[in-house]
Structure 1
Amino acid sequence: MRIAIYDLDRTLTRSPTFTPFLAFGASKVAPWRLGFMPVWILAMVGYRIGLYSRTALKRFGMKTMLGNVDVRRLHEVGEDYARARIAAPGLMSGTMQLLDEDRAAGARLMIATAAFDFYAASFAERLGFEALVATRWDGSTIPGGNCYGETKKDRVLDWFAEEGIDRSACSVRFVSDSFADGPMLDWSDEPIFATGSPAETAKAKARGWRVIDPRYGLPSTEG
């Protein structure tokens, strides 16, 4: 069995998705909350200097920019958001070439992302993925924390167990633009790092990962 797992932000999509979603979502459900965007930007600075965790930051963003909106409404907004983001700024053409390759080979396709499930699900559906592992939102908290780093790997392993898949009997490709996904990249049979940065390319090759430029799909020489 062949399984192909893709990160979402800046791997499939051309830019990050969360902050744009906060602005998009607020404009749909509570436009007056757009005035809190400077507060959100300051909160991101606080995270960068280590004042709190990613999980705490994302919860703060949701509560500040969207309030107590019903999760069902978030899924509706998420559908509109995914459609708009796929249209513009669009997707990474190089990564989409890999996805076409995996689809043609009959691979089972998964998105594994730190993005929230209520909009990541719409990206997955529109792009033809059959499985999704993402950060959960129950309306007020993030059960299990941010789907990031080791947590992402643990949740993918949980999916394997739920599906009854024998890891030793399948080949796994994992594609990501983030070194935070090192646990997943090292665990996969075919780790692919997506970057156009020479410095990141050198660092990824030093870890034995294949490197592609996700914008153009031009594979570099494997290290």
Structure 2
Amino acid sequence: MQSPPRQKLAIYDMDKTITRRATFGPFIRHVITRYKPGRAAMLPAMAAVTAGYGLNLINRARLKEINLGLLLGREIDASEAAAMAESFAMETRRTNFLSEALRQIAADRAAGYRIVLATASYRFYVDAIAQLLAIEDVIATRCLPSGEGAFLPQIAGQNCYAEAKLMMVKDWLRTAGLARQDCHIRFYSDHVSDAPCLAFADEAFATNPHAPLRELADKRGWRVLDWPE
């Protein structure tokens, strides 16, 4: 009996893989400019928190939690956040998408790949960006819910980064009812933190890689894609 065809998955990181720049800083600027100008007073505190992260005083997850709280408050109205996310997604499409990344997504989709977005960015605004890309499957960092129609800046579970991202990809496969051996996986990323996911894939693509990933890709034989910005 002939075995069924393997499920083809193309999993993309988002920041600096599909976009030219990271998205959290632009999201902060977008919210302050369009919605919460008073929060500009929090920018020095955000800069201090970021400096603390640079000095290894806090980890990446805590950095995100503190700065999101400084931006949006201790409890965040989900409908308000959705409106911010929608307008930010439109701005991202206008100013921050890499055209070659969009072409690669279209080519993978045309070749029968199911497109998945796997990113450390916050799910509440990633969903809006994914919708513009016609991507239904999203793996991202979630916020803790807080009652009806609200959420907290604290992360629910893990920050979708490095080894945790691979764990979340595996969890998504299980939830989707997909066995690893029944899938052919492509993974695209710009950053060496995604080495676990790249190694997990059948085809690994280092896209506009920074120096550490470029070096690792050369050692591992991963394909390098240099997309013009």
The verdict on a shared fold, with TM-score over 0.5 as the criterion, is yes
Residue number in structure 2 paired with 1:73: 80
Alignment partner for residue 55 of structure 2, among 49, 58, 76?
Answer: 49
Alignment partner for residue 194 of structure 1, among 207, 210, 213?
Answer: 207
Q: Distance in 1 between matches of 2:197 and 2:108?
A: 18
Residue number in structure 1 paired with 2:36: 30
Aligned runs of 1:99-114 on 2, under 5 Å?
A: 99-114=105-120
Moved more, 60-69 or 25-34: 25-34
CA contact (8 A) 1:8 1:113 kept: yes
CA contact (8 A) 2:192 2:212 kept: no
Alignment partner for residue 138 of structure 2, among 132, 137, 140?
Answer: 132
CA contact (8 A) 2:190 2:213 kept: no
Amino acid at match of 1:184: C
Residue number in structure 2 paired with 1:12: 18
Q: CA deviation at 1:210?
A: 0.8
Q: Distance in 2 between matches of 1:45 and 1:206?
A: 33
Residue number in structure 2 paired with 1:158: 171
Residue number in structure 2 paired with 1:87: 94
Query: Where has structure 1 moved over 3 Å in runs of 4 or more?
Result: 26-29, 196-200
Deviations 1:107-140 (A, max 9, x none): 1111000000011001111111120000001322
TM-score by length of 2: 0.88
Q: Distance in 2 between matches of 1:125 and 1:56?
A: 28
CA contact (8 A) 2:130 2:138 kept: yes
Q: CA deviation at 1:198?
A: 6.4
Q: Distance in 2 between matches of 1:162 and 1:197?
A: 32
TM-score by length of 1: 0.91
Give 3-state SS (helix, strand or coil) of 1:175's partner.
strand
Structure 1: gaps (5+ residues): 217-223
Residue number in structure 1 paired with 2:192: 179
Give 3-state SS (helix, strand or coil) of 2:178's partner.
coil
Q: Distance in 1 between matches of 2:170 and 2:62?
A: 24
Q: CA deviation at 1:189?
A: 0.4
CA contact (8 A) 1:2 1:106 kept: yes
By percentage of residues, which structure has more strand? 2
Structure 2: gaps (5+ residues): 1-6, 145-150
